[in-house]
Amino acid sequence: MTATLHAAVLGHPVDHSLSPALHSAAFEVLGLDADYVRHDVPEQQWDEFWAGARASGHWRGFSVTMPLKPFAARDADRVTPLARALGVANTLTFARDGSVDADNTDVMGIMAALGAAGEIPRSPRAVVLGGGATASAAVAALHGLGADSVDVVVRTAQRAESLTAVAEAVGTSVRVLPWEQAGAALHGADVVVATLPPRGADELARGWREEHPRVSGVLLDVAYDPWPSALAAAWQDAGGAIAPGVDMLIFQAVDQLRWFTQGDSSRALPRENEVTAAMCRAVERPERVVPARVRQAQTTRLPR
């Protein structure tokens, strides 16, 4: 009999995480004996939880959310070059010998969510709003999609200090802009990733609307409640395409599933398009697949 695959999402808080719905839908399509649960782990409890998880021999993998992503990258036995460049990991996978691999599939999730939402030029003018951990993944993702450099708009310059090193590690550069220039940056952008908390860009959206903008690019707002966000609605009304953070969540889970079931993100899932479609349906999103451009970028433009 095949052993049950045990996986979970870790973070604080995780009560409203959509990951169990996504992974459960995928396991059903794959016909796997598997379960996927939530574990609320505040950062001060990480060391104790991690020691117990490693000792138990129970787990196959974890999806990791904030504030635990830096610890996931720090405490794994092997860290992919991409996760090492970012300094954070969102995926932990246990090998048969008990050793642990760490990866960051958020980068693929961002690239796929953007690429599935609309057409992106081969060398897009790229903007990131915000300077936290998700902004690091966004910089890497936009480089993967062909951006020669990335404009990062932040309220305080200190928020973006680590992004310069991240950009260099993945092979690109960033230009840090003050928040007062956010509206101007949006006007000229082909692709935008907003990494702010829910409603964090509402004031920006109101002011930008008053400028009667016209755009033709793609915007991903990693916040997805409420949806559309004020910024996404303004971008769409100005002529652009939009994607919610839930699309990023779906696509990053595809490569997590590759890790959990194949032991490597480069090995495709059986019936991968069907799996992806099932995950979309599970969270009431239109059925999409990972764009071919994204898979090519993973091997040619990102650290491996």
Active-site residues, by number, are 69
As a 3-state breakdown, the chain gives helix, strand, coil percent values, each rounded to 5, of 45, 20, 35
Contacts of 44 (CB under 8 A, 6+ apart): none
Cα distances from 158 to residues 71, 130, 178, 222, in angstroms, run 21, 11, 11, 21
Q: Which of 222, 228, 276 is nearest to 246 (CA)?
A: 222
The pair phi, psi for residue 39, each rounded to 5°, is: -130, 115
CB 156 within 8 A of CB 134: no
Place of tokens 């057409």: 119
